[in-house]
């Protein structure tokens, strides 16, 4: 999964098609896992066990994959990935076991990380020579086009590539620029950051729909805020590469003020209270890690005040999560069954 520093929202259509978007993000050590087992028994069904939803379901035919709010992301992935080349119906019986370190709706890109994990599992199973770009675009197609969930492109690319990335979106062309951050800078940044769960999840679809509508109607506040957010991503990338750690806090705060101008509902009284309390305790800046409305709040602190900020958000009922920056993206491997 990923934390987004700047540029989020400029990867949501139609902005990147018309103006080009840019985001700065990095992956963390919270993961989505997909285990796939295949048995050539000629039946062709699929069994899915989701640890997160405490659910086991079986789908025998492609016609069983109806979107009804029950594991719809997995159904969409099966529709696209079981027969990626349009070949006849697969006859292998499949068993999928799924688990995620964070639930959907918390702003860490968990749904897209799971989608990328599913693509990776099928890539390994089908022995497809897909690149990280191919995996990202397949995940985008599954989540945004096949299933119709609203959102941008950064989450799929972050999960597939891993590490620090400055990602540019120009129309349908995406360029991932991996950033070589000096280990001392990465270590200091990781220490200065706090990840606080606000205790709420949100439906990002509605927020993103309102943002898209505001931009399509060319409302000045939304357009100007998105333009400034894209420039902020460029500025933050440059400061990070120069090792100017303290600037990250100021720019995060600036980005949060801009993000709240995208549309209504990005912040609320609870989130505002968390943010104000954290700043009073010494946080230099921060933002919600996703589209808005709830989930995880990312805070940047002076090293001497980090503990005070953590205590401040905990006093309001927040939960500070331990995490580390993770350099790797999608990883797949095979294990021989003992049976």
Contact 159, 116 (CB under 8 A): yes
Rounded Cα–Cα distance for residues 322 and 283 (Å) = 17
Contact 207, 265 (CB under 8 A): yes
Rounded Cα–Cα distance for residues 279 and 312 (Å) = 9
Rounded Cα–Cα distance for residues 142 and 73 (Å) = 8
Output the six-digit token pair for 159. Answer: 């999960």
Closest CA to 109 of 321, 289, 309, 320: 289
Calculate the alpha carbon distances from 316 to 58, 197, 202, 229 in Å: 42, 11, 19, 29
Could you give the angle at which helices 132-140 and 110-126 cross, rounded to 10 degrees?
A: 120
Q: Which residues of 109-120 are buried (b: 16+ CB within 10 A; e: fewer)?
A: bbbbbbbbbbbb
Q: Is the peptide bond before 14 cis (omega within 30 degrees of 0)?
A: yes
Active site residues: 155
- How crowded is residue 38: how many other Cβ atoms within 10 Å of its Cβ? 12
């Amino acid at each position: 999964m990923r934390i987004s520093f700047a540029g989020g929202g400029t990867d949501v259509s139609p902005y990147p098609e018309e103006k080009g978007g840019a985001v700065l993000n990095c992956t963390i050590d919270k993961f989505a896992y997909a285990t796939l087992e295949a048995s050539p028994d000629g039946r062709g069904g699929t069994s899915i066990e989701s640890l997160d939803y405490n659910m086991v379901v079986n789908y025998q035919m492609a016609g069983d994959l109806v979107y009804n709010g029950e594991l719809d992301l997995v159904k969409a992935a099966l529709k696209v990935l079981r027969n990626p080349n349009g070949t006849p119906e697969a006859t292998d019986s499949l068993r999928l076991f799924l688990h995620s370190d964070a639930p959907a709706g918390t702003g860490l890109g968990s749904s897209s990380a799971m989608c990328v994990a599913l693509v990776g599992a099928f890539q390994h199973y089908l022995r497809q020579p897909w690149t990280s770009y191919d995996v990202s675009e397949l995940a985008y197609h599954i989540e945004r086009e096949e299933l119709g969930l609203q959102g941008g492109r950064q989450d799929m690319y972050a999960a597939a590539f891993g590490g620090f990335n400055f990602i540019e979106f120009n129309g349908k062309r995406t360029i991932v620029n991996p950033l070589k951050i000096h280990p001392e800078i990465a270590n200091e940044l990781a220490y200065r950051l706090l990840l606080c769960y606000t205790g709420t999840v949100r439906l990002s679809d509605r927020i993103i729909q309102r943002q898209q509508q505001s931009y399509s109607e060319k409302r000045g506040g939304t357009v100007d805020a998105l333009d400034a957010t894209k420039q902020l991503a460029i500025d933050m990338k440059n400061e990070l590469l120069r090792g100017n750690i303290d600037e990250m806090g100021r720019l995060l705060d600036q980005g949060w003020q801009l993000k709240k101008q995208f549309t209504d509902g990005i912040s609320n009284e609870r989130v505002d209270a968390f943010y104000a309390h954290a700043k009073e305790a010494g946080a230099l800046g921060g933002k919600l890690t996703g589209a808005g409305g709830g989930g995880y709040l990312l805070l940047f602190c002076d090293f001497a005040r980090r503990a005070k900020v953590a205590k401040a958000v905990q006093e309001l009922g927040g939960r500070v999560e331990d995490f580390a920056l993770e350099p790797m993206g999608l990883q797949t491997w095979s294990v021989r069954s003992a049976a």
